[in-house]
Amino acid sequence: MELLVDLHTHTIASGHAYSTVTENALAASRRGIKLLGMTDHGPKMPGAPHLFHFDNLSILPDELFGVKILPGVEANITNYEGDLDMPMRYLEQLKLILAGLHPICYPGGTCEQNTQAYLKAMLNPYIDIMVHPGRPDFEMDLEKIAHASALLNVPMEVNNSSLATISGKDRARNNCNSIARYMSKYKSPVILGSDAHFWDRVGEFNEALELVRETGISEQQILNTSPERVLDYLVERRKRRTEFNPISLKYRLSIA
């Protein structure tokens, strides 16, 4: 399986990452990556960039070293309603929006509360991809989330960093294995992400690929085998924004 897209990477702007846009793009080029997401953390994360950082992303070139750059954000889900730490006007102008739960940005709750926070974020058409659902920080109903991903056609990430981190690796692998099997069962759309915080991790998917093979996720489910598939998905995703009703985000998503 050839993976040509890495949509989840960080630069020094995130505060706890250690490479520049240029260094990441060069590393991507050397690894054969054709499409690179630049998704620094949203402002609620300590050390994250000021909102002006996201306002100024338009100055970046569309391409570096033969790699197309998608400026975006890894937004933080902040509460049980699935709200994000990015104002709407920034969401409207970014080319790629990832969203996930982080311990320092989200209060935590019961399994039901955490699940609903994740599902309500997934209902937001301004969010393109839901990231690292297998992280063990918050208990969630992983089957319900995988099923919702399939019904809503919102890709879920298999996060290489979650699987490669030494601390809590066994718990993370168990969680990731569990949700990956549900993603295989319901045929959810999938993105493999490096979650690189240093240039040498860009385009690194070894652990994620191993999990994909173990759990039976098919190549047809994985969007980042082709830049065209990803870009076509993002175009279709933006069409849904015209139907957006903020009130709908307050309703609970029921999965039979």
pLDDT tens digits along 43-75: 999 999 999 999 999 999 999 999 999 999 999
The pLDDT tens digits for 129-164 are 999 999 999 999 999 999 999 999 999 999 999 998
Helices within the chain (DSSP H only): 21-30, 51-55, 88-93, 111-122, 142-152, 160-164, 169-186, 206-215, 227-239
* Mean pLDDT score, 10-34: 98
* Statement: the pTM of the whole predicted model exceeds 0.85: yes
* 222, β-bridge pairs: 190
Find the range with the poorest average confidence among 35-39, 46-50, 240-244, 249-253: 249-253
Contacts of 193 (CB under 8 A, 6+ apart): 6, 7, 8, 131, 132, 157, 158, 159, 160, 161, 208
Judge whether 161 and 198 are in contact, CB under 8 Å: no
* Mean pLDDT score, 228-233: 98
Residue ranges of E strands in 62-125: 63-64, 67-76, 96-100
Residues 161 and 200: their CA atoms lie apart, in Å, by 12
Q: 171 falls in which pLDDT band (50, 70, 90)? A: confident
Residues 191 and 70: their CA atoms lie apart, in Å, by 15
Judge whether 60 and 21 are in contact, CB under 8 Å: yes
